[in-house]
A and B are shown apart, each in its own frame.
Chain A
Amino acid sequence: MQEFADIALTVNGDAVARRVETRQHLVDFLRIELGLTGSHLGCEHGVCGACTVRVDGAVVRGCLMLAVQADGADVWTVEGLSDTGEIADLQQAFIERNALQCGYCTPGMLLTAAEMLEAGRRMTRAEIRAFLSGNFCRCTGYHAIVDAIETAMQGRFGG
């Protein structure tokens, strides 16, 4: 029982070991300790989705998980998914459709959209909107984001 803990995990495919304050949430760990500033803090109470990261294959609110809980986990952020090219089609669609303005929500949107694509099928616009309903964007009004995700789905699943 202690206020610090040693953790070892993989982040974007790289092994990482650190001593962390037990109170530090995952996104502060990624941002402050690892310099992965692509994941953002928008509310720190689990509503806005700006801190969305992938943990053990599923998106989570990075502000609603302690870094110490990620001990042993496989964590991916927008930086890693950019490097592997996994979301290259989504990113290209976002860019071409101007589905981002200030860009602050974009990493979280992309991570959530990437999980949407794992369903392996095209979704209706209403389904896409429902899936995105936990990610706040103040700039775009969402329409262009839905367009971009539709484009990526079309590219992957045809139709």
Chain B
Amino acid sequence: MADPSPSVGRPLPRSAARRLAFGRGRYADDLRFPGLLHLAFVRSPHAHARIVRIDPAPAIAAVPNARVFTGADIARVCGPWQASVDNLPTLVSPPQHIVAVDRAAWQGEPVAAVVAASRAEAEDAAAEVVVEWEPLPAAAIRDRTLDADAAPAHPELGGNLSYATLIRAGDPDAALAEAAHTVEGRFSFARHTGVPLEPRAVIADYDPGEGTLTVHGSHQAPWHQQDTLSRHLGIPEHLVRVVTPDIGGGFGIKLHIYGEEIAVSAVSRLLGRPVKYVADRMESFVSDVQARDQSVSARMGVDEDGGIRGLAVDALSSFGAYAAYGRPPVNEGMMTIMMTGGPYANGHYEGRLRIAFQNKPPSGMYRAVGQPIACAVTEQLVDWAADAAGIDPVDMRRRNYWTDEACPLTTPGGIGIRRLSLGRCLDRLVAMMDYGALRAEQAALRRNGVHRGIGVATFLEMTSIGPERYGPAGAHVSTQDGATVRLEPSGAVRCVTSVVEIGQGTHAALAQIVADCLGTAPQHVAVVGGDTALTPYGGGAWASRGLTIGGEAAWRAAQGLRQNILELAGSILQADPAGLDLAGGAVCDRATREARITLAEIGRIGHFRHDTLPPGVQPELAVTRHYVPDAVPFALANGVQGSSLEVDTETGEVRLLDHWVVEDCGRIVNPLLVEEQIRGGVVQGIGGALFEECCYDGEGQMLNASFADYLVPMAAEMPDIHVGHVETPLEGTALGAKGAGEAGTVGAPAAVLLAVNDAIRPLGAQVSSLPVTPESVLTAIAAARA
């Protein structure tokens, strides 16, 4: 930004926090609608089964006010859809019904929608719907789904392979063959899910009079919903309005289009009444998109002196029964093979990917998509190679980072890098950790039989993905955002943004940006969003794009308004606008900084006293701008994480002691927001590293579909997390901000995995399956002893 600012860069509390902390949040389920009906789903108890017959009569007998809609009923309003990617023509995907018709392909797939006067009554009725099933064999074990004798997840597809690809650069076979040391491992990353605390919720209200559909929902991408609802329900797009009230967490889970949400709109359309569906927690575990779920074989070769020579990965990624509709569905696997090895100078690479269907809930994008896998695989190989070459892991990393001189470059995996700051991040992290002292303490404790471990993991963080990925894919996903900035008559400012606020605090940061542009204070800027009928068109909240894209749009709009204000002031003051500036809530003389006229006076005259203006002056006190990333295809942030932990080698318990992150997300608009994004992301990464797993039996039944059994990180087990920053502004933008929401989740699993393996290395044991559990630690130690 041209003008050094009083507000951007400061850790200002956000106004929304004040509302939420007083219990004044308004989440979807809090809203009131006259005449509301409640919807519950009948779901498949089988992972794979044919629907022989559905009899709704007992449900109606039990609850006379209930109505039951089968998949076939819904299909009359909204037919099936099919995931596709225009530029991946070999992608195989089956058609998916909004509510299952004839066959259910995962345990939890909706097979009928039941509407009644209350949720309890809808559930009463749903419990009475009789479904006759013919169970089918299920594809339920990830590493066997591509075996010749595996049951097909979808009989009509003939096999479970959805997509396969290969990335190759240099001569990895020769490089690995010639390497002085070769290390390899087979990694497993469990299937898990995002678990936003507020479950998915939607209220659809079709007005048969005007033919309008208004949807209030807990959703990260209301425009995507608007598009889908319009196209699939055949309602003209300008008659579809999606409103997002307060959202109780998303993390990617609420980014997707779900059959349930569409079914609610379909039922509302059929009944002409508002209809609400809120997933309960048990439903969330079997219907929210699930993620990760990969096995990766990987090999790295290094020189005598630790220089990386070559790298090869082979990933088998699982989709579940379907890939989430409407976005390029291959991202988890693609990110794995594109990002593996990314931070390190290396010319010889092979990344092989196969994606297969299983009879499990659909797969979609959960925070950091594929990158935690790439990071953990890469960093563990680097640690093993350092060990093989007899080099300290920190030195090993410093030796192998891409140098500034090598940039800009494209990695063998295909990631364009303009500039990194890995060396500076590492230096900072080592200082924050007091790495040398930690190592000394570790050695001393080891002599007493205490097994401490230290992990240092480098990460790249892809954020704010631009049109290059979504456009050619044919996805109806907008990668731009927009903002309208308006001067009110009082001199206060309103910013109407397409950025969806889901708790990150982006709206507060937008207020800071706009305030600085207009020479006012953030508390004089109100930011509103979350209504597709009223705000500029945009993309939504995903890929940590809010400030990089939406912030840039707001900056541009505010700059436009600034110019208009100065021109109006010039007219009023009969001064040259070029000699004027905005500061302290007023137009001031650029040279002397003397206030000439307040924003309030500008507002008053510009809105109420046109009669006093010179002829021909048309005050334009609202400006709309959009911004689509054009300088780079995405904003690549980077950083390093450190973990210190202790392993109880008798019980397998991993006790986290400390965690550090140094991260470079470019220009920091509000460190309070950035640091809490980092910390929250770290803890989700720790969840994946130590706790979270959707456990399935061989028939595709989820065994731990409750909050008691699906283990999320709770306060007692989490460490304090120390955050440091390096700021390398993003090139080609005014603001210079990159995303910060993925970083914690990308790097934490690697840091923890490495620390565990560092702790148990003296026992000759290593683990490579996430989550690391007490049992897996004990098993590894026992195997090493045997």
Contacts and interface: CB of A to CB of B under 8 A. Distances in A.
Q: Which of B30, B249, B673 has the most CB of A within 10 A?
A: B249
A21 B17 contact: no
Interface string A48-60: 1010000000000
A17 interface: no
A50 B26 contact: no
A141 B721 contact: yes
Given A94-B21, A130-B716, A133-B716, A102 B198 contact: yes
A98 B508 CA distance: 12
A100 B21 contact: yes
A93 B488 CA distance: 32
A103 B707 contact: no
Interface string A4-42: 000000000000000001011000000100011111111
Contacts of A36: 23
Interface residues of B, number: 58
B712 A143 contact: no
B718 A129 contact: yes
A106 B21 contact: yes
A79 B503 contact: no
A107 B23 contact: yes
A135 B718 CA distance: 13
A148 to B, nearest CB: 10
Given A23-B120, A95-B21, A129-B715, A101 B13 contact: no
Given A38-B24, A106-B20, A144-B679, A101 B716 contact: no
A93 B19 CA distance: 14
A5 B25 CA distance: 31
A132 interface: yes
A38 B721 contact: no
Contacts of B708: 45, 47
Contacts of B26: 37
Interface string A131-151: 011111111111111100000
A144 B721 CA distance: 10
Nearest to B706: A45
Given A98-B14, A102-B246, A104-B197, A140 B680 contact: yes
Interface string B491-521: 0000000000011110000000000000000
A141 B682 contact: yes
A71 interface: no
Contacts, number: 178
B718 A101 contact: no
A115 interface: no
Contacts of B683: 140-142
A125 to B, nearest CB: 7
Nearest to B250: A102
Contact of A104 (B198, B684, B714): B198
B587 to A, nearest CB: 33
A140 B681 CA distance: 8
Contacts of B682: 141
Interface string B667-689: 00000110010011111100000
B251 interface: yes
Contacts of B280: 44
A125 B707 CA distance: 25
A100 to B, nearest CB: 6
A102 B715 contact: no
Q: Which of B21, B24, B718 has the most CB of A within 10 A?
A: B21
Contacts of A146: 715, 720
Contacts of A143: 679, 718, 720-721
Contacts of B673: 98
Interface string A83-111: 00000000100111110111111110010
Given A48-B197, A103-B503, A104-B27, A95 B715 contact: no
Nearest to A21: B120
A87 to B, nearest CB: 9
A45 B17 contact: no
Contacts of A101: 249, 503-505, 676, 680
Contact of B712 (A94, A100, A129, A138): A138
A134 B716 CA distance: 9
Contacts of A140: 676, 679-680, 683
A41 B196 CA distance: 12
Nearest to A92: B21
Interface string B709-728: 00011111010110000000
Contacts of B278: 41
Given A40-B248, A100-B21, A141 B679 contact: yes
B247 interface: yes
B281 interface: yes
Contacts of B18: 95
A31 B713 CA distance: 28
A129 B719 CA distance: 10
B22 interface: yes
B707 A45 contact: yes
Nearest to B14: A98
Contacts of B25: 37-38, 103-104, 106
Nearest to B15: A95
A67 B586 CA distance: 56
Contacts of B713: 141
Contacts of B681: 141
A78 interface: yes
B29 interface: yes
A10 B617 CA distance: 62
B195 interface: yes
Contacts of B680: 101, 138-141
Contact of B197 (A35, A42, A110, A133): A42
A136 to B, nearest CB: 6
B654 to A, nearest CB: 16
Nearest to A107: B23
B122 to A, nearest CB: 14
B523 to A, nearest CB: 13
B249 A138 contact: yes
A95 B246 CA distance: 17
B646 to A, nearest CB: 14
A105 B715 contact: no
Given A129-B716, A142-B715, A103 B248 contact: yes
Contacts of A141: 676, 679-684, 713, 718, 721, 744
A77 B23 CA distance: 9
Nearest to A144: B676
Interface in B19-44: 19-27, 29-30, 32
B197 A102 contact: yes
A47 B23 contact: no
B714 A133 contact: yes
B707 A98 contact: no
A125 B502 CA distance: 28
A98 B676 contact: yes
B17 A98 contact: yes
A75 B13 CA distance: 31
A82 interface: yes
Contacts of B502: 102
A88 to B, nearest CB: 10
Contacts of B247: 102
A94 B27 CA distance: 20
A90 to B, nearest CB: 8
- 8 closest A-B pairs by beta carbon, nearest first, are A38-B23, A103-B20, A102-B503, A104-B248, A141-B683, A78-B23, A101-B503, A47-B707
23 contacts: A37-B25, A37-B26, A40-B197, A43-B706, A43-B707, A77-B23, A96-B13, A102-B503, A103-B20, A103-B246, A104-B249, A132-B714, A138-B194, A138-B249, A138-B680, A139-B197, A139-B249, A140-B676, A141-B681, A141-B744, A142-B683, A142-B718, A146-B720
Given A31-B29, A97-B672, A141-B676, 6 more contacts: A37-B23, A40-B248, A105-B197, A129-B715, A141-B682, A143-B721
Interface of B: 13-14, 16-27, 29-30, 32, 120, 194-199, 246-249, 251, 278, 280-282, 502-505, 672-673, 676, 679-684, 706-708, 712-716, 718, 720-721, 744
